[in-house]
Structure 1
């Protein structure tokens, strides 16, 4: 089994000469992390592994830079280097596409143009692979640092990676140009990707079912999309804005489907039964796109193989869930429908109102939001009228409100969902050759697959021991095998990882969300989500703070190095205050076995170390004075009372010396580890004042008695 570092070395040396020297220096990053965490002292310089500066009694921690800042410098430099290369490569591909389009319009030889088009397509998929592998390299390096240092920094830095030029590559723009050139070549009679052919026959039952669903491994998505763009064009169903043209910068809208069901999951069970009987059952889900004022209600009646889509205002959804007919039905000309519309035009107002009445009669107010799926949707159509719905970057979540901002649980789905719709009456002899792409080994036919059934199965049926969909076990068993062999040399990387959670309680914390942090470059974050993450970090950095308190705190410093390095996905465990005996004995409070989370950065400067030493010297000075006074009283007076006071002062001096040494070491250890704790001493000053006051009171009382 090949490790990730060895895989990168293989890519850097043999696979892609154009990427040679540009890959992330993963092994060097690992060595640097070993030095910063103190695990590799043999290969480190004295300055790197020495955490102490000279002192007459105790060496203090290195005040120059904390390990996180030093690691950030290295990672930022590496990220900048790779980002510049990606920008250069992206500009080169755009230049090749522009030059190719000019040559196509100039009627150059078609065979040569097709060859150049395929080369540019390979460049696009290779660049995507390069970006994914480097992203994985940063994630693995940070994971190693977290494991060694016991501190959470991945979410903080990976947010910076997601915003960097490395992840800002506009692949949709390149694919748009690529598809336009391919369309011109097809009109001229050329046949790009002439080696793509299909061997499908009527046995696959395409003409009878008219719709088939396929699951494509996410690691092969870009290569599939590039080839598919050579045969199809984007389909525009919405009428509010035109379809994206070549070179368009507008990103694909993020679509969210909210899946509804009854408390006893009747809709879910009926859907599974209908897959076996081949007779559709009644079901409904809602599509929304943030920020958007339009929602799309997708309804399928019992026995009806065709779904009906009805557009309503977002504020009417709550009315519909209460069993009331929405007051207004919109049409395809409404603003903002692109993010919620499907492959078929929505129903007109008259039919839409009728369908909403049927929905209220069928379900009443029994439906409630159970799960959600977010994805990026592309709708393509070829010359034969076949429509392909390409849903990628799919992640599922558990919700309780249809418009809730963040799901309580998130699960990345490591497959692209491809829905192929055949027009009625299309004969087998007219099937296009691009269907051969569906015969690739990375594409699996999953008839009956439903994102709604899968989401409810994952977050509800699994914990309640209900019947699972027929595809569920195969999907996650295959994925688990891939996880066990993660270090093999793939053609393209797979960022998502999900392990089966069979037998776990539905509401219990789980590790499925661990893959979400490393997918920021695929899913992105909305400005609202980024602000929420920043506010949460600031609130948790406060002692006793809570995410609710964060609403009162500005997020101007979010994303900077000065921001607290937090996981961001869950509140940090509350740290209990030290009691009197714990502080006196230097015992740490441990309230949980969870991995410790840094709540704030403790800055250690030279003056901090020197002030600790000066404080220690002042305590020694006071103890010396008290001891001298005690010795003096023991030897210059023959009275027993004076001898008693002298002995008490000497004992107090001895205690103060021992206590000052303890406090000095306790503070030095805290500064060395940069612990977020209380550094004040509540015991030493009290003992000092009590000793002096006691001696004075005793002396005054003795003088009054002898007067």
Structure 2
């Protein structure tokens, strides 16, 4: 369906009078059509200055309406969270200070009913946050589309000027992370009835190495807030410093990746997943002023080795990083103070020192230098001190070049460039130095050595429409492949999918529900865009993300605000006049209150003629009606044909790691893509020692049957008492078949062995060879029987 129709069917009842008037704005863009002298379709009247002023006035009033509602609701949610926080604190205090039960059976301890009411209240706030995020996202998409339609139809460029207005009213910039952290803490206290799980808030941050099985997913920006709210109902947000008020800087994570820019050993090793492939990076948490830098090495291990892939790291001061990476500071000096303090066991210090020596040797020996930086804000969900299930969501993912190649000094002699920090989206960088990833990355990490299956809600989450599985996705691989297009010729398999919209239809109900809501209803429908344009995600530029800009006191702004207030009052009066005195809902309320269905239609482009245009042409009549009808029917035939062709060419995809796939119940789909000119797409292939043995056994099997056929030929030739031409021809034919079978088996074996060594995704099964071989053996048996019967004069 079109965006206008999607907007109408996605209305949330509370916000139904505050959405952008998309249909009204679109109607303003349609000027009258002048009549044609020859009876054909007339030309539209030219867009005038008066039309532009009227459209801008209406557009700014709509922006004021949406912005006002968003700010009012956001403030209301903030007050409700504060009130709930006071109530939870009071209940927990009573729980901690409860006295003995009196003779009458009275106690100051909170009851189960109080906890249930608190949980319902928090669930209702969570649903409000979800609805507000959907409201904001849908209106922002509406403004994007109406501005794009305006510039296209009128030829007047309004986009830059409107971007300035959005800076003054940035209703779409709130990500609600601070609210989510507070809600997570309160909900965890209430859900556990005042006894949340205690433990190390770092939850593994102090561990030198740990083993996990990780699966990765892409999340569209429209679904990020909803996904966070769903997860926090099951796992609390992991806060590293619980005694400090949440700051956006707390979630920032930055990593500097190293590689040899001549051979790209680390890139290709991680891409091909060869045994022992390494990734070396320097990571810090927070802003650029952080003094602690973690030096990490990730090592890939094949399953057949009996070992697991592991990440090992040690910490050092930022002031020592340059000397360490250049070999001027040796590892024993780094850990000298730790040995004197005696806070860590000697065994742990020795392991860290050995790791430091190995990383330093690799960097100096193989010429590794900084090549790529990754930045993102991470929201982690995990029970403290319990790493069996850990879910992290990385948003605002950005990759930045750190090299000094192509004659530009980015980091210079330093280990990292200093012209950027955590000031996403890094607008000061040139486009060739930065890659802004369009999706968030969800990682589901399980410690499978404990032998426990993942919870059911995790299975339901990863099979929902909110995520898109991308096994083996790597920030380092993606950043290197995109930032060095002239130097990297082997691309990861997900690169061609970057231009494909990952949003999916709702296959089953999974989302935020209010307390007491039925299982087949939700707070709102899901929203999707009707045009997959590359610039849609950043329609008004990165500068519009700055939410610190506020309204000025100019006379023009005040006038718009007064007009917006009058419009809101008039709309409210119309709403009250239209509503009946009873409980009957009007048409729009019925649409807003309608439950979700399993069917979901992704709406089409608004640029196409719709039913309204056809009806308008019907009223005009004549050739305009027949031409519109012809276009309408042609589009219907085209769409139906396209759907039929897609069903015919649909193919199953390669799957992710079998163990993880079976445990999570996740299936992955694949599309066929063609690599860009001069590039190759690497498809991950699982290679174990038993694969070589299987190829060898297959070759030996072919060799055995070749010998059998050759034996039959020799028997026919040498053991016939009366050799005739018929038996001689049969023996010669089977000798040729035996030799051809032997040569075929050798060629197949060499081809497969080479493909296995190079980890190529080729067709390893043989569709025709076994059938032909069995047919030859069957013919040999028939001929042998026929010769025997003829010899005995039976035939």
* TM-score after normalising by structure 1: 0.53
Partner residue in 2 for 1:122: 127
Superimposed CA distance per residue, residues 644-691 of structure 1 (whole angstroms, 9 cap, x where no aligned partner): xxxxxxxxxxxxxxxxxxxxxxxxxxxxxxxxxxxxxxxxxxxxxxxx
Shift of 1:465: 6.5
CA contact (8 A) 1:324 1:360 kept: no
Partner residue in 2 for 1:697: none
More moved, 466-475 vs 287-296: 287-296
CA–CA distance in 1 between the matches of 2:555 and 2:283? 38
The one of 167, 176, 187 equivalent to 1:171 is 176
In structure 2, the CA distance between the partners of 1:469 and 1:318, relative to structure 1 (3 Å rule), is: same
In structure 2, the CA distance between the partners of 1:431 and 1:25, relative to structure 1 (3 Å rule), is: closer
Partner residue in 1 for 2:489: 466
CA–CA distance in 1 between the matches of 2:138 and 2:454? 40
In structure 2, the CA distance between the partners of 1:93 and 1:10, relative to structure 1 (3 Å rule), is: same
Superimposed CA distance per residue, residues 534-571 of structure 1 (whole angstroms, 9 cap, x where no aligned partner): xxxxxxxxxxxxxxxxxxxxxxx9x9999xxxxxxxxx
Q: Which runs of 5+ in 2 are unaligned?
A: 35-41, 92-109, 197-209, 302-308, 339-346, 404-409, 411-415, 421-428, 506-523, 558-795
> Is 1:454 aligned to residue 475 of structure 2?
no
CA contact (8 A) 2:137 2:222 kept: no
CA contact (8 A) 2:316 2:334 kept: yes
CA–CA distance in 1 between the matches of 2:326 and 2:555? 45
CA–CA distance in 2 between the matches of 1:560 and 1:319? 59
* TM-score after normalising by structure 2: 0.48
Partner residue in 2 for 1:379: 380
The one of 26, 29, 33 equivalent to 2:22 is 26
> Is 1:296 aligned to residue 293 of structure 2?
yes
Q: RCO greater where, 1 or 2, for CA within 8 Å and sep 6 or more?
A: 2
In structure 2, the CA distance between the partners of 1:228 and 1:159, relative to structure 1 (3 Å rule), is: farther
> Is 1:272 aligned to residue 294 of structure 2?
no
CA–CA distance in 2 between the matches of 1:560 and 1:269? 60
Q: Which runs of 5+ in 1 are unaligned?
A: 50-66, 192-206, 334-346, 483-489, 500-511, 531-556, 563-707
> Is 1:437 aligned to residue 461 of structure 2?
yes
Partner residue in 2 for 1:360: 360
Partner residue in 1 for 2:394: 391
CA–CA distance in 1 between the matches of 2:312 and 2:398? 24
Shift of 1:268: 0.9
SS at match of 1:234: coil
Shift of 1:141: 2.8
CA contact (8 A) 2:284 2:290 kept: no
Shift of 1:269: 0.5
CA–CA distance in 2 between the matches of 1:47 and 1:156? 16
CA–CA distance in 2 between the matches of 1:75 and 1:153? 11
Partner residue in 2 for 1:78: 62
CA–CA distance in 2 between the matches of 1:516 and 1:369? 29
**Number of matched residues?**
452
CA contact (8 A) 1:146 1:152 kept: yes
More moved, 382-391 vs 182-191: 182-191
CA contact (8 A) 1:399 1:407 kept: no
SS at match of 2:6: helix
CA contact (8 A) 1:217 1:415 kept: yes
Superimposed CA distance per residue, residues 134-164 of structure 1 (whole angstroms, 9 cap, x where no aligned partner): 1222222332344356566535543542552
CA contact (8 A) 1:373 1:455 kept: yes
CA–CA distance in 1 between the matches of 2:538 and 2:43? 31
SS at match of 1:233: coil
Written as runs of structure 1 = structure 2, the 5 A alignment for 1:187-206 is: 187-188=192-193
Shift of 1:270: 0.6
Shift of 1:94: 3.3
CA contact (8 A) 1:215 1:416 kept: yes
More moved, 225-234 vs 104-113: 104-113
In structure 2, the CA distance between the partners of 1:221 and 1:114, relative to structure 1 (3 Å rule), is: same
CA contact (8 A) 2:173 2:545 kept: no
CA–CA distance in 2 between the matches of 1:526 and 1:399? 29
